[in-house]
Amino acid sequence: MIKIGIVGGTGYTAGELIRLLVHHPKVDIKTIISKSSYGKLVHLIHKDLLGDINNIKFSKNLDEIIDVMFICSAHGQSKKELIHVPEYVKVIDLSQDFRIFNKFQKRNFVYGLPELKKELIKKSSNIANPGCFATSILLSILPLAIKNLIKKSIHISAITGSTGSGKKLSDTNHFSWRNNNISTYKIFKHQHLKEIIKNISEIQKDFNSEIYFIPYRGNFSRGIITTMYTNNNLSLDKNIKIYKEYYSDHPFVYVSDDVIDIKQVINTNKCFLFIKKEKNQLIIVSVLDNLLKGASGQAVQNMNLMFNLNEDCGLKLKSINF
């Protein structure tokens, strides 16, 4: 059994991670660290885990021998946490700390998008889990970049649920503000743009186009829907063939022949894509669960690859499509 440690155990991503791992057939959760909730029973914070994880309490420090550590702390905290993690322990960091600058002491982090870097992930001991918007957008763009087909600017709009803002209460994720409301934020300046541009530039070496990204705050709790378009001279059928061939060996990304919606993927590690053309513009719509394929589910997917397990082990989840 793979011995698991989790740092920053009280947030949304940690809660989803525990929910996945407690039912994973190949792992054993040894320690869940939270300095703010030290000594409390885990199911008193993550109340849906009552009956699944009754006797585990939050630890203050790493007090067990583990094989892999998931870091779910706030952005900017991972280096402080890694000081206390032995070098032999594999690390999957769910923050943005190592997505761009991928080295810390003797650790070299691989960007953990399995649909892009599966073979590197299998060989790596340190993974920088991608951002939720970045995952949705990169999965929409990758097949084009691989074929060197991005010649013009890319225009993107995407809307995310309130869990994308984390558990800490603020004006813009308070129910009274979110309910019956929607707004843009960080237009053209969202932090995930850096990791998107970095990865696209590594794939398509001559990429020098602009990416115009407008994120929205949605009035729902979880999920992301992304719509992007860019100039494209190929027929719709040829584009669909490129996408379906690229994702044929990836178990969580599917190209749909019908219009897609967020509810199809909520509570799963799937990403659905829908492709259409209008005039000379190729339009790609992407949907995923920001807490699963956009965070904790992808982290487990990366762990499976690192430990030579089936990629979908513990991740065969059914959506709540009603």
Task: Give 3's strand partners.
Answer: 28
Other Cβ atoms less than 10 A from the Cβ of 268: the count is 21
Q: Which of 72, 132, 271, 313 is catalytic?
A: 132
**In Å, how far are 83, 109, 147, 241 from 275, measured between CA atoms?**
45, 33, 16, 11
Residue 181 near residue 159 (C-beta atoms within 8 A): no
End-to-end CA distance of the chain: 36
Nearest residue to 86 (alpha-carbon basis) of 73, 99, 68: 68
Other Cβ atoms less than 10 A from the Cβ of 280: the count is 10
Name residue 123's amino acid.
K
User: Three-state secondary structure along 193-260?
Assistant: HHHHHHHHHHHCCCCCCCEEEEEEECCCCCCEEEEEEEECCCCHHHHHHHHHHHHHHCCCEEEECCCC
Task: Give 59's strand partners.
Answer: 33
Residue position matching structure tokens 């011995």: 3
Q: Can you spell out the DSSP letters for 89-131?
A: SEEEE-SSTTSSS-EETTEEPEE--HHHHHHHHHH-SEEEPPP
Other Cβ atoms less than 10 A from the Cβ of 127: the count is 30
DSSP, res 270: -
Task: Give 127's strand partners.
Answer: 92, 110
72 is catalytic: no
Catalytic residues: 132
